[in-house]
Amino acid sequence: MTSDPRAKKGRGAIYNPHNRFQQVHSEVFDDGWYRDEDAPTLQTTVTEDRAKSIVAHNQSPDVPFESSINPYKGCEHGCVYCYARPSHAYWGLSPGQDFETKLFAKRKGPELLRAYFNRASYKPQVIALGANTDPYQPIERQERITRELLGVMLTYQHPVMITTKSANVVRDLDLLVELAKLNLVSVGISVTTLDGQTARSMEPRASAPFRRLDAIQRLAQVGVPVGVMVAPIIPGLTDWELERIVTQAAQRGAQFAAPIMIRLPLEVKPLFEAWLEHWVPDRKKHVLSLISQVRSGPLNTSEFHERMKGTGSYADLIHQRMNLICQKLGLNKKRMELSCDHFRRPDQNTSQLELFT
């Protein structure tokens, strides 16, 4: 590991890259007096997001949903590779350390979701919870927005698929069990690496890998459909762990598994390069070379059908390995289809939500 005066304890991004929409920039200058113990910690701040809508829509063929909800903007997990980081620039902030410290909570989200479901024209379809930022990041413990949203889903008997890197999803087992009884929920637990040291530096405030595996086991034990997302796969750094991750998840009850190849859009590229230089400088060149191979030259591709999988012989090999291990373990035997048949608009005088908050 090399010292970098911009690095902050407990944060994934090494520094704050410039906001591409602002003309005034500042830079850190090392005057030679820096010491590791002098690096200040960064405090997390949470501001209410007064969004007027809660459901986002997409037409991407790469994801199995058209509608999604993100209870929070920014993510305290601090995953250095997170493709959502560039969105923070739209709020006048940096996609770097600002993304993981200056957060926004959609506290009106449950109210907005009820209004959305109550539209006479609304027809139910699966909604993804946490498609951009993690719905179970640490501030959920206090904000409880995700829990309230799940309560609304249960009240309206609406299908929801959850993706998270947090073991704290088990805090909502009571809701998830009730949703599962009606085939209204599936949970994908994302695991990047099983190495604790790598996880701590790359995903500093996400749950430790063993806790995510434990969460898979607890969900499976109570009948909640659960799988593992090997995401992202980082060639030359974590790709060798693919079979280990899938095997350990399957041993704990995972029913499905899916890989997602790393991509480095906009400001994520220099952030990831700085992380490599800080934590694994001897492997930086090799890792970037392999990422370039699976991205047809650049370090990111945004084209449909390629951005999640990558292209070329190296990417093909990764997917062949995934298919083989899933066949061996009996995963992905059938497509996970959640039900839209139970959807109802309850009488406004009665609400299951009140039973679970």
Its sign, for the CA torsion 279, 308, 240, 138, is positive
> Residue 194: pLDDT above 70?
yes
Residue 27, pLDDT > 60, answer no
Residue 31 has pLDDT above 60, yes or no: no
Residue 45 has phi, psi (to 5 degrees) of -120, 145
The SS3 of residue 3 is: coil
- The model's pTM is 0.89
Q: Between these two residues, 151 and 61, which has the higher pLDDT value?
A: 151
Q: What is the mean pLDDT of residues 167-177?
A: 98
Q: What percent of the chain has pLDDT over 90?
A: 74
With H, G, I as helix, E, B as strand and everything else as coil, classify residue 225: coil
Cβ–Cβ under 8 Å, residues 95 and 17:
yes
CATH code of the domain made up of 41-262: 3.20.20
Query: Across residues 85-113, what is the average pLDDT?
Result: 95
Residue boundaries of the structural domains of the chain? 41-262
Q: Residue 271: its pLDDT value, please?
A: 96
Q: pLDDT digits over 305-320, tens only?
A: 566 678 889 999 999 9
Give the mean model confidence (pLDDT) for residues 82-102.
Answer: 94
Q: Tens digits of per-residue pLDDT, 211-220?
A: 999 999 999 9
- Tell me, what's the pLDDT at 28? 53
Choice between 21 and 99, residue whose per-residue pLDDT is larger = 99
Answer yes or no: is pLDDT of 88 > 70.
Answer: yes
Give 63 or 190, the one with higher predicted confidence.
Answer: 190
pLDDT at residue 82 is higher than 90: yes
Buried b (16+ CB within 10 A) or exposed e, 243-281: eebbbbbbebbbbbbbbbbbbbbbbbbbbbbbbbebbbe
More confident residue, 340 or 308: 340
Most confident of the ranges 27-31, 63-67, 117-121, 310-314: 117-121
Q: Can you give the pLDDT at residue 7?
A: 80
pLDDT tens digits, one per residue of 258-311: 999 999 998 999 999 999 999 999 999 999 999 999 987 777 766 665 666 788
> Does residue 50 have a pLDDT over 70?
yes
Q: Express each pLDDT in 239-264 by its tens digit.
A: 999 999 999 999 999 999 999 999 99
Beta strands (DSSP E) in the chain are 45-48, 56-57, 67-69, 72-73, 102-105, 127-129, 160-164, 185-191, 226-233, 256-261
Q: What integer best gives the mean pLDDT of the chain?
A: 89
